Amino acid sequence: MAGDDMTAGHAPTAERIAAAATALGVRPGGVLLVHSSLSSMGHVDGGADTVIEGLLQALGPAGTLLMPALSYATVNRDHTHFDRQATPSCVGAIAEAFRLRGGTLRSGSPTHSVCATGPLAAQLVADHHLDTTPVGPRSPLRKVRDLDGQLMFLGCGLGPNTSMHGVEELVGPPYLFGEDVTYSLQLGAERHDVTCRRHKFAGWAQRYERVAELLTGDDLRVGKVLDAQAHLLEVRRMWNCAEAALRHDAFTFVSPAPA
């Protein structure tokens, strides 16, 4: 089922984004995790902040918005310090603006943190730093599944689906894990040393767009938000279908990397 293109007319840009998200199927009062590309949307008055405002309008005051704040580009086995407040994310302008926005909370994973705002934000991010894998049982990504949340890809296609790492961690395909790394976490006034197993993927390319082949009906909706093609997925259904596929074939969502 495709959402309508609601970008025409003279409504303020944030309201147009909210209308398009609602037409696509975003639930008011729901839990929504968004991966995004600002450049895909064309000119946006106010830039990333306007996109965030539009998404919040679609969710309403009872809704909770999440975005990835991944930091694997700067926090790794050679540079192991993570500061929840200061370490930047590496997944685009909208996600970074969301991280810096007043009232946003961030989880404490050194490499795969997630930001959230809304009534369930504190619950979602509270204990991620206690996991020993990037997308473990305390990750906000898994909690979005348990809360029957939705997942939006805003102009970036289905490839950058960090939630799929959580599915892979349930199954443990042979390409997934590398060595353990001990990280130093600065979580406000608290400091923790934690040991976490890294993802590896040596010799393999991620093919998470293949999850679309497993979803039917309203489990996957496609529409436009400004100039961007947007995909909206039902998270629990995605996890269940992907886990079943991985247990049947551990290499369902990868292909050999080019030499």
pLDDT in tens, 50-73: 999 999 999 999 999 999 999 999
Cβ-based neighbours of 87, under 8 Å, separated by 6 or more: 71, 74, 75
The whole model's pTM is what? 0.94
Residue 247 has pLDDT above 50, yes or no: yes
Q: Is the Cβ–Cβ distance between 41 and 50 less than 8 Å?
A: no
Q: Is the Cβ–Cβ distance between 111 and 71 less than 8 Å?
A: yes
| Per-residue confidence (pLDDT) for residue 259, from 0 to 100 | 74
Q: What is the pLDDT of residues 109-146, one digit of tens each?
A: 999 999 999 999 999 999 999 999 999 999 999 999 99
pLDDT-derived band of residue 5, with 50, 70 and 90 as boundaries?
very low
Residue 86 has pLDDT above 60, yes or no: yes
* Residue 182 CB neighbours (<10 A): 11
Torsion 234-154-118-89 (CA) sign: positive
Average confidence (pLDDT) over 191-202: 95
